[in-house]
Chains A and B, each alone.
Chain A
C-alpha cells in the first residue's frame, strides 16, 4: 500500500506521531474491507443483466419449432422468475444492495422481454413508442418496491428513448407529453437518494443522467414556435447552473457537479449560436401573432422553467450583494429581454455578443478569485470562441483578425502565468 511509504516518511520527519500513524493505517484497512462488497454489487448487477439477455438469446434460437402455447409460456417465464427473485429479496435479503439491485434489473429486462416476445408471437406491428411506454409504466413501481437505483437509471434511459422516438422520429408527429409524467414518477426516488446518500455513486450517476435526459428530450416540445426553444434552453441551463452553485452541490470537484458543467457550457453554446445574426433575422421575419406566442406549448414550458430558475436564483442570492453573483447565474434573466428586443430590432445580436464577452471576463475574474486554473482558462476559452465566431462572421481584414487572435493568445499566456506566479508567492 503506497500510503505505508508516505506514513513512514511523515513519521521520520516528525510530522505525525506513532499513534496517529496507526490510526491512519487502520482507517485505510477498513476502507479496503468495504471494497470487496462494492465489487460484489457491481458483479451482481452485471450478472443479472447478462443472465436476462442470455435467456432471451437461447429462446430465440429455437423459437420457430415451438407451438404458440409453448412460446407463450416461455414469454411469461422470465417475468415469473424475476418476480420470484424480487419476492425472495424482499422477504429475506432486503438489506442487501446486491440482491435488491440484481433482482430489480433482472425483472426490469424480463418485463421488456415478455412484452417483446408477445409481440413476436402474434406478429404485432412494431410501434416502438407504445412498447417503451408500456414497458416503462410497468417497471416504474420496481424503483420504489425494490429501492433500486440501477432500475431507476434504466428507467430514465427508457423514457428518454421513448420521448426521442416519439418526439423526433415519429411521423406524423405525436406529442411525447407522457415523458414528463414518467420523469416526475422517478423524481421522488432521486430526491430520496440525494437526501440519504448525497455523496454516493448512485446519486452521482443520477446527477449526470437526469439532466442529460432533460436536455435531449426538452427539444421534443418544439413545434411551430421553435424560436422559443432558445429561451427554454437558456433558462434550463440557468436552472442547472443555479442547482450546481447551491450550497449542497457547490464546492465539489467539478466532475462531481454535472449541473454546474451543463449550466456553464450549455449557456456558452447557446449564446455562441445566437451571436450570429441569422437567428435574429429569421426571428424578425416570423409572422406569429401574440396569441401564437403565448398559447404555444413552448411558451408554457419556457415560463415554467424560467419561474423555477428565478425561484432558485432568489434562494441562492437572498440577502447577498450583487458582487457575489457568479458569472452564469443571471444570464437567463438578461437573455429574455434581449430576445424580446430581437423581435423588433437588429441590435439584439450586439447585446448577445456583449453579454458573452462580459460572461467570459467575469469567468476569468472568478477563476482568479478562486485561484482555479480551470475556471480561468474556461473564461479565456469563451473569449477565444467569441473571437473565432466573429472571425467567420464579419468582414474584418485578415490583419485585424490575426491581431485579435494574437491578443487572445497573449491573454491565455499572461493570465495563466500571473495566476501560477501568485500561487507560488503565497506558498
Chain B
C-alpha cells in the first residue's frame, strides 16, 4: 500500500504516540501521589449484597453534599470545584464550593454535580472523581467479607487514603482501622 520509508516513518510516529500517551498518564498520576496532599475520606456502608462489581471494591463516600453560593450558575454539565480541609479527627471534609477554580494554595477537587434541587436550598449532591479500588479477583470474596463487616462495625473507621493535586484525586489505599485491606487479607491467609 505504501512504500517502505513512509511505512517506517508512520510506524515510528505511531509507537511514539502510544508511548507518549501511556507514559504521560503514568507521569501525571505519579506526580499526584508524590507531590499531592494526603487526605482520609470516610467510606459509607454500601448495599451489603453487592459491594463488589467485577474486580474492584465499589466505594461510596460520606462526603457527597456541597453548598453552592447564590451567585453560581449551575447545570449538570458544569464542573464544580470543592476545597478539601481536615476535620478535628484528621478526616477530609468539604470547604467551600464554586464553579470557579480556587486559589492554587488550596487543596481542591473537581467533582461532578449529580443532583441540584430546583428551588430553595443550594445544597447539591456531588460525585467524587474516584469510586473504586482494584483488587485481585481471586481474593475478592474474602476482601468482600472483611470490607462488609468493617463498614457495619462502628468501632472501626473505614476510609480511603487519597492524594490530591490541582483538582485531581488518586486513591492510594483503603484502610480498615489503621490496616490496609490488602495487608488484612494477607494476615488472614
Chain A residues with a Cβ under 8 A of chain B: 60-61, 63-64, 72, 75-76, 79, 83, 86-87, 90, 94, 111, 114-115, 118, 120, 122-126, 134, 138, 141-142, 144-145, 147, 172, 192
The dominant DSSP class at the A interface is: helix
Could you say which residues of chain A place their CB within 8 Å of the CB of B132?
123, 125-126
A134 to B20, CA, bound (A): 12
Query: Taking A64-B182, A147-B1 as contacts, is the C-beta distance between A90 and B8 under 8 angstroms?
Result: yes
Tell me if A138 and B18 are in contact (CB < 8 A). yes
B14 touches which of A60, A76, A123, A145 (Cβ 8 Å): A145
Question: How far, in Å, is B93 (CB) from chain A's closest CB?
Answer: 21
A142 to B14, CA, bound (A): 8
Can you show 27 pairs from A to B with CB atoms below 8 A apart?
A60-B55, A60-B137, A63-B136, A64-B135, A64-B136, A64-B139, A72-B26, A75-B22, A79-B18, A83-B18, A90-B11, A94-B7, A114-B18, A114-B22, A118-B22, A122-B170, A123-B133, A123-B170, A123-B171, A126-B131, A138-B21, A141-B10, A141-B14, A144-B1, A144-B2, A145-B10, A172-B77
Could you say which residues of chain A place their CB within 8 Å of the CB of B8?
90
Tell me if A83 and B131 are in contact (CB < 8 A). no
A86 to B25, CA, bound (A): 23
Tell me if B25 and A118 are in contact (CB < 8 A). yes
Question: How far, in Å, is A149 (CB) from chain B's closest CB?
Answer: 12
B22 touches which of A79, A94, A126 (Cβ 8 Å): A79
Question: How far, in Å, is B112 (CB) from chain A's closest CB?
Answer: 10
Q: Does B105 contact A (CB under 8 A)?
A: no
Tell me if A123 and B21 are in contact (CB < 8 A). no
Q: Does B70 contact A (CB under 8 A)?
A: no
Tell me if B17 and A138 are in contact (CB < 8 A). yes
Tell me if B130 and A125 are in contact (CB < 8 A). yes
Question: How far, in Å, is A79 (CB) from chain B's closest CB?
Answer: 6
The 4 tightest CB contacts between A and B, nearest first, are: A141-B14, A123-B171, A122-B29, A120-B134
Could you say which residues of chain B place their CB within 8 Å of the CB of A134?
21
Q: Does B103 contact A (CB under 8 A)?
A: no
A176 to B17, CA, bound (A): 23
A64 to B2, CA, bound (A): 45
A307 to B33, CA, bound (A): 54
Q: Closest A residue to B135 by CB, please name it.
A: A64
Q: Does B13 contact A (CB under 8 A)?
A: yes
B131 touches which of A72, A120, A125, A147 (Cβ 8 Å): A125
Could you say which residues of chain B place their CB within 8 Å of the CB of A114?
18, 22
Could you say which residues of chain A place their CB within 8 Å of the CB of B22?
75-76, 79, 114-115, 118
Q: Does B76 contact A (CB under 8 A)?
A: yes
Could you say which residues of chain B place their CB within 8 Å of the CB of A83?
15, 18
A111 touches which of B1, B18, B77 (Cβ 8 Å): B18
Could you say which residues of chain A place their CB within 8 Å of the CB of B23?
76
Given A76-B22, A124-B29, list of 12 further CB < 8 A pairs?
A64-B135, A64-B182, A72-B26, A76-B23, A83-B18, A86-B11, A87-B15, A111-B18, A118-B25, A125-B132, A126-B131, A138-B21
Q: Closest A residue to B139 by CB, please name it.
A: A64
A155 to B153, CA, bound (A): 48
Tell me if B138 and A61 are in contact (CB < 8 A). yes
A192 to B2, CA, bound (A): 11
Q: Closest A residue to B20 by CB, please name it.
A: A138
Tell me if B130 and A90 are in contact (CB < 8 A). no
Q: Does B95 contact A (CB under 8 A)?
A: no
A329 to B61, CA, bound (A): 58
Question: How far, in Å, is B52 (CB) from chain A's closest CB?
Answer: 14
Question: How far, in Å, is B116 (CB) from chain A's closest CB?
Answer: 13
Question: How far, in Å, is B48 (CB) from chain A's closest CB?
Answer: 22
Could you say which residues of chain A place their CB within 8 Å of the CB of B177?
none
Query: Taking A76-B22, A123-B130, A138-B17 as contacts, is the C-beta distance between A144 and B170 under 8 angstroms?
Result: no
A145 to B16, CA, bound (A): 14
A75 to B55, CA, bound (A): 17
Q: Does B129 contact A (CB under 8 A)?
A: yes
Q: Closest A residue to B15 by CB, please name it.
A: A83
Tell me if B136 and A144 are in contact (CB < 8 A). no
A63 to B21, CA, bound (A): 23
